[in-house]
Amino acid sequence: MDTLSYKTKSASKETVERKWYIVDAAEQPIGRLGSKIAHVLRGKHKPSYTPHVDCGDYVIVINAEKAKFTGSKWDQKVYLSYSGYPGGQKSITAKELAAKKPFAIMEKAVKGMLPKNKLGRAMFKKLFVYTGEEHKHGAQKPEPLSI
């Protein structure tokens, strides 16, 4: 039997080429934008995607405070945190969180769409969220990501 001359190449940590993308979150729905960003962070937009390798790209999000929720989620959406102690559960609405940390809503949306393991934590480190137009990654020459 003749062996095939073509084989599917699996990406490895050494062979991954990463790009930098910039996304303007102004007037974008948070969930839909977060889904697309998580897709790029995982590397699923590349033909060389390998599930067990972090082959995603870096993403910079600007104007995170101008992203929007649809419907009445600003008042109804609740973020919960639990310290592990009895009575240690805290809740905060999206409107209150936006007043304190406007970038945290986008971070939480994207983090919830990534894998809940070591690989997902490594992918999340490639996300940079900023309020306003300014960011400190000009030297990386980020390309605009079409969403």
The pLDDT score that the predictor gives to residue 9 is 82
- Tell me the C-alpha distance between 105 and 103, whole Å: 6
How does residue 5 score in pLDDT terms, banded at 50, 70 and 90? low
- Report how far apart the first and last C-alpha atoms of the chain are (Å, whole number): 47
Residues in Cβ contact with 112 at an 8 Å cutoff, skipping those fewer than 6 apart: 34
5 or 73: whose pLDDT is higher?
Answer: 73
Structure token digits, residue 43: 């590397």
**Residue whose structure tokens are 């079409």:** 146
Q: How many residues does the chain have?
A: 147
The pLDDT score that the predictor gives to residue 3 is 62
Every domain of the chain and the residues it spans: 20-70+100-144
Q: Which CATH superfamily is domain 20-70+100-144 in?
A: Ribosomal protein L13 (3.90.1180.10)
Structure token digits, residue 86: 């009895």
How does residue 112 score in pLDDT terms, banded at 50, 70 and 90? very high
Give residue 75's Cα distance to chain centre: 23
Q: Quick check: 2 pLDDT over 60?
A: no
Alpha helices, H only, the chain = 30-42, 73-76, 94-100, 104-111, 118-124
7 or 117: whose pLDDT is higher?
Answer: 117
Taking residues 111-129, what's their average pLDDT? 97
